[in-house]
Structure 1
Amino acid sequence: MKKIKTKEAVGHVLCHDITQIIKGVKKGVAFKKGHIVTEEDIPVLLSIGKENLYIWEKREGMLHENEAAKILYNICKNDYMCPSEIKEGKIELIAEKDGVLKVDIERLCKVNSLGEMMIATRHNNFPVKKGDKLAGTRIIPLVIEQEKMDKAVEVAGDKPLIKIMPFKHKKVGIVTTGSEVFYGRIKDTFGPVIREKLAEYDTEVLGQKILNDNPNEITQAIKDFINEGAELIICTGGMSVDPDDTTPSAIKNTGAKIVSYGAPVLPGAMFLLSYYKNTIPILGLPGCVMYAKRTIFDLVLPRVMADDKITLEDLASLGHGGLCLSCDVCSFPNCGFGK
């Protein structure tokens, strides 16, 4: 810290807040710690009574918080995101495209464990929209050693800590099973729910086939949609363990690889995830998707729409945070479900 005359302070960095008091009008911070003094600031500072200022004295090997924040931003930045203005030594990353946010949690923790610096992000694997905040970066003190920031770059590695996987356009086929719907004994209420959720994304529904519980017919319906160009198949009904619920076996008989039949999520335990020829997702949705506000489907669909391959380990990890509290007023995704 160094004391200099205010008239000579242009370009220097303030080491403390400066308060301005105008009787009956204003009392508050006029210039915050870390502010870089400009030519226009000089008359204001003098009017406050500041003939002298305490400024940060630039030393070899030391970085101001704004410089350090830029380094942390560069550690994070990737395609489809841009920086905010630097404010009080903080830079935020803003989404420029809708998609799924991916965070390398392990490397993020390593950087944050270095001390005197921080990167805070949104949750991994959650959908974001253009304009959303993705992360914020800053150092804790006003200045920091260049050596420490070099260490942060080393720990972070060559790849950005976060990325956005943009949503893709997808053609979708819906296969609904159940004799009660097929014979018209009850009205299909599954289809409208699925279409409503798909409408949140860039999708084209090729159609909906309503079948009884014949597994061969279900298998053929799935294959027919794939032959029509479907890039996502959603099967509803027949997903329990009752003997006449044959949808899981019908999906398997297409030749699709079953990732998991079952997920540690409530609502949504009887969910099935598979991939046909390792590329086309075939989802088996449990009955809860029809009536519950949010389910396993809401956690999986964004990743499917971004072509983010979901593994058994990914599904297993949903057990931590996989209990929906069925709140009277649903605030998803701004809640703990799926996090």
Structure 2
Amino acid sequence: MKKIPVKETIGSVLCHDITQIIPGKIKDRAFKKGHIIKKEDIPLLLSLGKDHIYVWEKKEGVLHENEAAERLRKLTAGAGITFSEVKEGKINFIAEYDGLLKINKELLYKLNSIGEMILVTLHNNYPVRKGKKVAGTRVIPLVIEEEKIKRAEEIIGNEKIVQVIPYKQMKVGIVTTGNEIYYGRIKDAFGAVIRKKMEEYDCEVLGQTILPDDPDKIRNAIESWIEKGADMVVCTGGMSVDPDDVTPTAIEKTGGEIITYGSPILPGAMFLLAYKKDIPILGLPGCVMYAKRTVFDLILPRLLIKERLKASDIAKYGHGGFCMECEVCRFPDCTFGKGV
């Protein structure tokens, strides 16, 4: 700190709070620690009896908290992020548009291990809406050694820690199977649920094909939707292990790559994911019909950013993939699927 006459402090940074007291009217902080003094502040400072001020004296190799926070912002924020103004070494990261929040957890850990500066985020793969606060950075002391910021820059390089990837507005074909539905014994309940889920992401449902439990007919229907321009095919019904549940066999018959049949997610264990070239084919378990949130709600946003999932991506859902089935559903503001 350096003590200098108040009239010479323009552009300097306060090292402490300054309180204003007017008996019977005001007792409050007039200036915060870290405030950069402006010309128009001088009369008020003088009226508060401050002829001299303790200010931060800029030194080579030392950064003010706000300057360091700006460096961190530029270093860690990727696409789809806007920001609050910097204040006391803190900047909030805000979603610029609807999309899926992606966090580089490994780099985040390394950054927060340096010390005296932090970056705090929401969970990876969090579906966010425009305007949602997704992260915040903070420099802990008033001043920080520039060497620590440089170390962070070396660790992170050209990669980013926080970004929001926008959804693609996909065209979707639905294939529903089951003799009981095909022959009119019961009414299909899947179609309306799938359409509602797709509407949440502004996706277009091209149509729905209802078929008996015939693997060749199911395969042909899947391929037909792809030929008609579907970016994704969703299959419902016939996903259990009963002998007449043949949807997995039909999906395999398309020649697509089966990524997984089964997932460590409840509700949603009997989930199937396959790819026909770049087109995802989903086999949805019966729980999607009646449960508020299921495996479908965790996987769909990732598919809508064109992320090609691997078996290992699905396996990671074992940590956090257990839905608590709350009486009032708060998804995605809950623990479901937040372990990945």
Contact 2:79/2:165 (<8 A) preserved: no
Question: What is the match of residue 88 of structure 1?
Answer: 88
The share of aligned pairs that are identical, in percent, is 61
2:336 is matched by which residue type in structure 1?
A: F
1:165 is matched by which residue type in structure 2?
A: I
**1:322, 1:92 → 2: CA distance?**
29
Question: What is the match of residue 262 of structure 1?
Answer: 262
Q: How many residues were matched structurally? A: 338
Question: What is the match of residue 127 of structure 1?
Answer: 127
Question: What is the match of residue 159 of structure 1?
Answer: 159
SS at match of 1:233: strand
Instruction: Give TM-score scaled by structure 1 length.
Output: 0.97
**2:187, 2:25 → 1: CA distance?**
66
**1:34, 1:187 → 2: CA distance?**
66
Report matched runs for 1:316-335 at 5 Å: 316-335=315-334
Question: What is the match of residue 15 of structure 1?
Answer: 15
SS at match of 1:40: helix
Question: What is the match of residue 77 of structure 2?
Answer: 77
Name which of structure 1's ranges 176-185 and 46-55 shifts more when overlaid on structure 2: 46-55
Contact 1:165/1:308 (<8 A) preserved: no
**1:19, 1:328 → 2: CA distance?**
48
Aligned-residue Cα RMSD (Å) equals 1.2
Aligned: 1:53 with 2:50: no
Structure 1 unmatched runs, 5+: none
Name which of structure 1's ranges 105-114 and 120-129 shifts more when overlaid on structure 2: 120-129
Q: 1:25 and 1:310, CA in 2 relative to 1: closer, same or farther beyond 3 A? A: farther
State the Cα distance separating 1:34 from its structure 2 match: 0.8
Aligned: 1:296 with 2:286: no
**2:202, 2:216 → 1: CA distance?**
31
State the Cα distance separating 1:176 from its structure 2 match: 0.8
Report matched runs for 1:227-246 at 5 Å: 227-246=227-246
Q: 1:262 and 1:25, CA in 2 relative to 1: closer, same or farther beyond 3 A? A: farther
Name which of structure 1's ranges 163-172 and 295-304 shifts more when overlaid on structure 2: 163-172
Aligned: 1:29 with 2:29: yes
State the Cα distance separating 1:216 from its structure 2 match: 0.9
Contact 1:175/1:209 (<8 A) preserved: yes
Deviations 1:272-304 (CA, angstroms, capped at 9, x unpaired): 111111x00001111111111111100011111
State the Cα distance separating 1:197 from its structure 2 match: 0.7
SS at match of 2:219: helix
**1:285, 1:224 → 2: CA distance?**
19
Question: What is the match of residue 207 of structure 1?
Answer: 207
SS at match of 2:120: strand
Structure 2 unmatched runs, 5+: none
**2:287, 2:52 → 1: CA distance?**
69
Name which of structure 1's ranges 94-103 and 188-197 shifts more when overlaid on structure 2: 94-103
SS at match of 2:60: coil
State the Cα distance separating 1:49 from its structure 2 match: 2.6
Q: 1:182 and 1:23, CA in 2 relative to 1: closer, same or farther beyond 3 A? A: farther
Question: What is the match of residue 6 of structure 1?
Answer: 6
Runs of 4 or more consecutive aligned structure 1 residues displaced over 6 Å after TM superposition? none
